[in-house]
Amino acid sequence: MIVLMKCLNEEFAVDRCITNFYNEEFVDRIIVVDGGSTDYTREELLKHPKVEVFTHPWIDWYHDMEICQSNIALSYVPHGELCFILDFDERMSEELKAFLRIVNKQGMPMEVDVVHISRKTFELVRHESSPFAIIDDDGWPVKSHEIGQYPDFQCRLIRRTPLMHWVNSPHHMLYGVKAEHREQVDIIHYEKDDYRRRQRIERKWARVQSRRRELGLSADAFETTPKLEYAKYADPTNWKERS
């Protein structure tokens, strides 16, 4: 099985994330699409022999860059092979690992193409009067409380077929799927170590929707009203200057 990942400047998250599943029997290859990191992300990744890194520059202002990167990553998975998609702010629960061991030996449940995996998101304990999270002995941030919707099923386990492609930025939908299944075996998702990164993401997503409106494109299939503090970024007139 291939573990498929995307990253941009994740130098300090590499080891804690990769070592969480690296020695599992179901992991044959780890393919990472890097958006052009300017820190030591690539060097940290290549310390691990199973990891293969492919650089495809992230064009920040392009409204569908997220989906482009996802389709580029999927293109590295041979047809018919299994891949599991994971982000660098996520880790596999023990229940998820046990499920992937079974899939690796027995194949996809009910011969489906895609399994949607439940995801549980946590806010972090942060230093007083600081956006930075407190890091535990295992390298992961200390969890404060659960946030967001649960089980928040995510399309993560895929048996690649020629027709599959991602659509819709930033919230993805996978087309070309014949049969799907759900498993509640949690991905553990952490908010950003530095809360300012979370704020940048919120602004970026609002700007993506703004740019789509400016171009006359359809809205995100899962579009939501932005939080009040980010509302101005959803207005096309506030889109940053471009040459």
Write out the E strands in 15-153. 29-34, 51-55, 82-85, 90-92, 114-124, 143-147
Q: What is the DSSP string of 136-168?
A: -TTSSBPEEEEES-SS--EEEEEE--TT-EEES
Q: How confident is the model at residue 243 (pLDDT cuts 50, 70, 90)?
A: very low
Q: Which residue from 214, 192, 189, 213 is spatially nearest to 202, judged by alpha carbons?
A: 192
Q: Which of 225, 231, 224 is nearest to 203 (CA)?
A: 231
The string of pLDDT tens digits covering residues 51-108 is: 999 999 998 777 788 899 999 999 999 999 999 999 999 999 999 999 999 999 999 9
Kindly report the CATH class assigned to 2-122+148-193: alpha beta
d(C-alpha 115, C-alpha 73), whole Å: 18
| Mean pLDDT (whole number) for 169-177 | 87
- Mean pLDDT confidence for 169-184: 91
Q: Of 57-61, 133-137, 208-212, which gets the smallest average pLDDT?
A: 208-212
In what helix (H) or strand (E) does residue 67 lie, and over which residues does it extend?
helix 65-75
Percent of residues, the chain, with pLDDT higher than 70: 95
Res. 161 pLDDT band, cuts 50 70 90: very high
Task: Report d(CA 4, CA 32) in Å as an integer.
Answer: 6
Length of the chain as a residue count: 243
Residue 208 has pLDDT above 90, yes or no: no
Q: What is the pLDDT of residues 9-50, one digit of tens each?
A: 999 999 999 999 999 999 999 999 999 999 999 999 999 999
**Amino acid at site 120:** K
Looking at the DSSP bridge assignments, the partners of residue 181 are: 115
pTM across the whole model: 0.90
- Confidence category of residue 174, pLDDT binned at 50, 70, 90: very high
